[in-house]
Amino acid sequence: MRDKKDFHKLSKLSGDYLKYETSKVLTWCGNCGNYGIQNALKRALVLEGYKKKDLLMCFDIGCNGNGSDKIEGYTLHGLHGRVLPVASGCALANPKMKVIASAGDGGTFSEGINHLVHAIRNDYPILFIHHNNENYGLTVGQASSLTRCGAIMNGTPKEVTIDPINSLDFVLSLNPSFVARSFSGEIGHVTEMFRLALKHKGFAYVEILQSCPTYNKMTPDIWYTKRIKMIEDKKDYDKSDIWQARRIVRDMENEIWLGLLYENKKKSNFFETYPFRKGVKTALVEEVRHKDISQFMQ
């Protein structure tokens, strides 16, 4: 952990951390980045004082989704590419719960890219964790829309021949309110990004560059460690300047900047722009009425 103060705090809160642990057997491959990401999420939740009853964690299909029963609490494991509409609906129905959604690069930028666009536009109040390992790991290593040109994958044995989407440039083009990036090998930094994102009132997009040692041979851990740089070390960087953010994320080969890259604190989230709920004190889940429908069942 980068911040020693947090490390001491966390050691005192080990009892709270253990409440998120399950007895389920971990099924990820050895050295998979998912271990670090899930560990960081548990650390961040404990350090921010969240209790299991205050949280809903929604998982897409994929290797990251197999983490849904490896963390204790309310979890929802849905259809491929559809985690964002489900998570957004839950957050709108019950604003008292903190909703966290996670998905891989396939679910986010192929099957579910339409949902990503509208979740950002509407600034739904959720933390979204994008596990970017640049391939479909669960289905044994096919190219996703984020796999690099030239990569040899199981579905494209002669190599990928088209350029990938630049995920952060795409997200930034949609006028988001919070964009951060981290790397699965830097657990302390991932924890820090999750903690900042948990405090954000709108849609917090956190991308984790994640190693997939089994199928993605093009960008192993060492590839990232040679290239990653911390944004706080960049002179005169202004995280409220979206054009500066878009310029630095263009480079996906040489300098890969990690940290809170863009934040717009003035943007209104969905609740603040939705006129029909102004002044309503109850949440939608509290307004559900039970109707007797037995007469229609005969």
Q: Is 209 in the site for ligand SF4 (CB under 6 A)?
A: no
Distance CA 265, CA 46 (A): 25
Q: How far is CA 169 from CA 51, 64, 173, 219, in A?
A: 34, 23, 6, 19
Smallest separation (angstroms) from ligand SF4 to the CB of 73: 21
Q: At what angle do helices 4-12 and 33-47 cross, to 10 degrees?
A: 80
Count other Cβ atoms within 10 Å, centred on residue 120. 24
Closest CB 34 distance from ligand SF4, rounded Å: 5
Residues 6 or more apart whose CB falls under 8 angstroms from that of 142 comprise 135, 136, 153, 154, 155, 156
Helix, coil or strand: residue 163: coil
Nearer to ligand SF4, 40 or 90 (CB): 40
Residues 61-100 that bind ligand SF4 (CB under 6 A): 63
Binding mask 120-159 for ligand SF4 (x = CB under 6 A): -------------x---xx---------------------
Which listed range, 10-18, 189-197, 207-215, 235-243, lies at the site for ligand SF4 (CB under 6 A)? 207-215
Report d(CA 246, CA 169) in Å as an integer. Answer: 6
Query: Could you tell me what percentage of the chain is helix, strand and coil, using 3-state DSSP and rounding each to the nearest 5?
Result: 40, 15, 45
**Chosen residue from 1, 10, 20, 32 binding ligand SF4 by CB under 6 A:** 32
Query: Does position 218 bind ligand SF4 by CB under 6 A?
Result: no
Q: Which is nearer to ligand SF4, 59 or 178 (CB)?
A: 59
- Of residues 108 and 177, the one with the C-beta less far from ligand SF4: 108
Question: For residues 104 and 23, what is the distance between their CA atoms, to the nearest angstrom?
Answer: 24
Give yes or no for residue 191 binding ligand SF4 (CB under 6 A).
Answer: no
Question: Based on CB atoms, which residue is closest to ligand SF4, 166 or 214?
Answer: 214
Binding site for ligand SF4 (CB under 6 A): 28-29, 32, 34, 63, 133, 137-138, 212-215
